[in-house]
Structure 1
Amino acid sequence: MDRMFADGTIEALVAGEGPPLVLLHSLLADRSSFDRVVAPLAARFRVMLPALPGFGRSVAVADGLAAVADRVAAAIRDFSGGRAVRLLGNGYGGFVALQAVIRHPAVAEQLVLADAGAAFSEPGREAFRGMARAAANGLGTIADTAMRRLFAPDFHADNPVLVAERRARFLQSNPAVIIAACEALATMDLRPALAGVRLPMLALVGSQDEATPPAMSHEVAAGLPDARLAVLDGCAHVPQLQAPERFLAAVVPFLLERTNTA
């Protein structure tokens, strides 16, 4: 069921019953990228799946990643009644999630960063700057690049229908939102704040992820006081789409730890 949160600015699907779990999608794949895992997760958790600001019916925000994280944190508090949630972000959603727990420590009690990190290398920053410049001429100019960042080449070859579907969805995105996010990611560096993030964290990454390479997950796991790392061999940037069973097998036991020790 879709509902609106944060004074009508965030659209989100809500499903299931249990401890609250929030899933934040990637920049290159909208919230439907979680479609293959929502039902199994909703069997154990009360799942909130927002459209990030500027996607779907969610209202865009200015002023960069911090403002996006503030809006998302407000929506999470609205959804959970102020209760700390389990927070999972994929790609861009992971950076939003990390920024949210840095700025709003009480918003979450567990954090999963799926193919995310705290800062990009200089080549990674330049890639985002280049995408932002190219996207000024329309998302069609970067659609092929976006799909290469989502999926490894062998997955493209074996799953042309899925890749075509994701490309069509990407082309429906708001170019201004994509450009602003690329510019924010090109300057973002959350590493100085990592030591203050005290909640348990799982860094999950696909071994073939070229968008946020495994080294970024290693770095963020090493920088957080209570963190562990899981690598999904053969996966790229959206493992919940590519290998939903393995994604769930890695994530669910971690998410249940708080329940089992309560």
Structure 2
Amino acid sequence: MPQKQDTTGEELKIRVGEEQVTGRAQGQGRPIVLLHSLLADASSFDPLAALLARTHRVVQLDLPGFGGSHPVAGGLEAVADRTADAIRNLKLETKPIVLGNGYGGFVALLTAIRHPQLAERLVLADCGVGFDEPGRQAFRNMSAAATAKGLAAISDVAMRRLFAPAFQAENAELIEQRRARFVAVHPETFHAACAALASLDLREQAAGVKVPALVLVGEQDEATPPRMARELASLLPDARFVLLGGCAHVPQLQAPQQFLDAIAAFIR
């Protein structure tokens, strides 16, 4: 059961068999579950969650291997299954909207493929159905460099994949906060996610996702460029595409009000 922690919400410790998934919940209303990126943990949703909590029951989950969530072996499919089980075990009054960003977007999509009755709607931000070969190689390179030198050695690369250079220059304090969060990720979780994303291809399976979807992407996203989101939207049976001007890979953190305005009608 959720435990009251402070005025910003409740700490969640969700049992999935013998394992645990952690998170935070706040607000009342239509439920929406937030799944974070690989390079940015659940706290990357904090500004957006505060806005959403005015009208929704907002759940920020720590994906397996992040925060207090136990890791899971078996690739992205196992991550999606663990996430689906955790959402079911929340015992929400109605089916939730599932919103994923980056890595969390791929998890949300795969969760919808493997558990088609779980979500009422999907919001998929800065993700796709699979990377091209240069994109796959980028994950292999990051994993290899982190193996050789540690996550701190690739933190500049990680920040560039999250934020455009101009935004970094104007928001130095935020960038250092995000860098510290990235370096704290468990290395095994990072390597497993890189391996999964380097081989993922959901193109054939995307057609089986019947729930309505809103696909968004920052126009400056270098990690999952707009062409990936456009391809995803074209393959889903019921999807709408939105390009977010001036944003990169984590638009909900960079411009939370702009992001909320873009999704407001869809999640109402």
CA distance in 2, matches of 1:46, 1:82: 10
Deviation at 1:82, TM superposition (A): 7.6
Task: Find out whether 1:136 has 2:147 as its counterpart.
Answer: yes
Deviation at 1:54, TM superposition (A): 0.4
SS of 1:6's partner is strand
CA distance in 1, matches of 2:91, 2:241: 27
RMSD: 1.0
Structure 1: any 5+ residue segments left out of the alignment? Answer: 257-262
CA distance in 2, matches of 1:181, 1:192: 21
- Over 4 Å off, 4+ runs: none
Identity of aligned residues (%): 56
Equivalent residue number for residue 244 of structure 1: 256
- Retained in 2: the 8 A contact 1:6–1:71? no
Equivalent residue number for residue 119 of structure 2: 108
Equivalent residue number for residue 6 of structure 1: 15
- Retained in 2: the 8 A contact 1:206–1:239? yes
Structure 2: any 5+ residue segments left out of the alignment? Answer: 1-9
Equivalent residue number for residue 37 of structure 2: 26
Equivalent residue number for residue 237 of structure 2: 225
SS of 2:223's partner is coil
CA distance in 1, matches of 2:69, 2:93: 21
Give the partner amino acid of 1:26: S
CA distance in 1, matches of 2:161, 2:187: 17
Task: Find out whether 1:70 has 2:81 as its counterpart.
Answer: yes
* 1:1-262 → structure 2 map (5 Å cutoff): 1-7=10-16, 9-81=20-92, 83-137=94-148, 138-256=150-268
Q: State the Cα deviation string for residues 145-167 of structure 1 (Å, max 9, x = none).
A: 00000000110111111111100
Q: State the Cα deviation string for residues 218-260 of structure 1 (Å, max 9, x = none).
A: 000000110000001110000011111100000121111xxxx
In terms of fraction of residues, the more helix-rich structure is 1
Q: State the Cα deviation string for residues 99-133 of structure 1 (Å, max 9, x = none).
A: 00000001101001110111001100000011111
Deviation at 1:142, TM superposition (A): 1.2
Deviation at 1:80, TM superposition (A): 3.4
Deviation at 1:83, TM superposition (A): 3.9
CA distance in 1, matches of 2:190, 2:156: 15
TM-score, L = length of structure 1: 0.96
CA distance in 1, matches of 2:116, 2:174: 37
CA distance in 1, matches of 2:93, 2:57: 14
Give the partner amino acid of 1:119: G
SS of 2:90's partner is helix
